[in-house]
Amino acid sequence: MARSLLLSVTLTVLFIGVVSARDWNILNQLKGTTTTTKTSETAVVSLKGPNLNGYCESWRVNVELNNIRNFLVVPQECVWFVQKYMTSSQYEEDVERAIDEAVLYLGKTCCEKKTCDGMDAWIFDIDDTLLSTIPYHKSNGCFGGEQLNQTKFEEWQNMGKAPALPNMVKLYHEIRERGFKIFLVSSRKEYLRSATVENLIEAGYHGWSNLLLRGEADEKKSVSQYKADLRSWLTSLGYRVWGVMGAQWNSFAGCPVPKRTFKLPNSIYYVA
């Protein structure tokens, strides 16, 4: 009788444990632990809990994996986490690892300066790929906590003060010196061309084959379609696009698919 009772209790505990694990959610665990503090810029939600780091890291990783899409703002409880990551040495190491992988890939391509026929191409995006927008987010104190103010952002872009991403200038010139034609494909508007060219040169970039920005007709398209159309155009001219590097998934979406893509981390905003 005692053994049967013990077995029954044990099974009940195990069953409760399984159900609890299945229904467990970090947001449920954080209920009742929320404290809200307001700054002059925005209301910042501060959630105190041992598992918040894990939740925010999971959110960030799933943004990078393109599982979380079309978000307008970073969850308020994770804005501090995104800011901490994007201004950390870990972010710089993650960028460097992507660059290392690109260098390894370059060694496997058939393009060498002595043998290239001038039709081997590489595409770079600009914002958060060649040039960093982190100073903008630092000065505006949002890091995705508010929807991007396009007017203010373009005013900042027009100042031409964006720094180069860590180690990116070296990769850019290694690709160029191997004989690849470099095409810069950006969702920046055409009126920002002069400021963009000056900023790129100041940051250490030069020698690209073409800088492609969005004209009025392009603004009717999604960014993904605009960039896919440009890849189609390059392919129609006979270019072989060996690689595309960007910080948004819109750099790779659609056809034709490049031979290789390199995604850089950026969970501050999402552009489809």
The C-alpha atoms of residue 182 and residue 92 are separated, in whole angstroms, by 23
Q: What is the pLDDT of residue 33?
A: 41
pTM above 0.85, yes or no: no
Query: Of 90, 176, 82, 76, nearest to 130 (Cα)?
Result: 176
Q: Specify the pLDDT at position 49.
A: 52
Report the alpha-carbon distance of residue 196 to residue 210 in Å, rounded.
13
With beta carbons less than 8 A apart as the criterion, state whether 187 and 225 touch: no
Give the pLDDT of residue 125: 96
Residue 94 has a pLDDT of 95
**Cα–Cα nearest to 124, from 199, 180, 202:** 180
Dmax (CA) of the chain: 87
Per the CB < 8 A criterion, the answer to whether 184 and 208 are in contact is yes
Query: Strand 43-47 relative to strand 34-38: parallel, antiparallel, unpaired?
Result: antiparallel
Q: Which DSSP letter does residue 212 get?
A: E
Q: What is the pLDDT of residue 7?
A: 44
3-state class (DSSP) for residue 37: strand
For position 50, what pLDDT does the model report? 56
Give the mean pLDDT per block of 10 residues along the chain (272 residues). 46 38 35 37 42 89 89 90 92 95 85 70 96 92 84 94 95 94 95 97 97 89 90 94 89 80 90 72
Strands (E), 107-148: 120-124
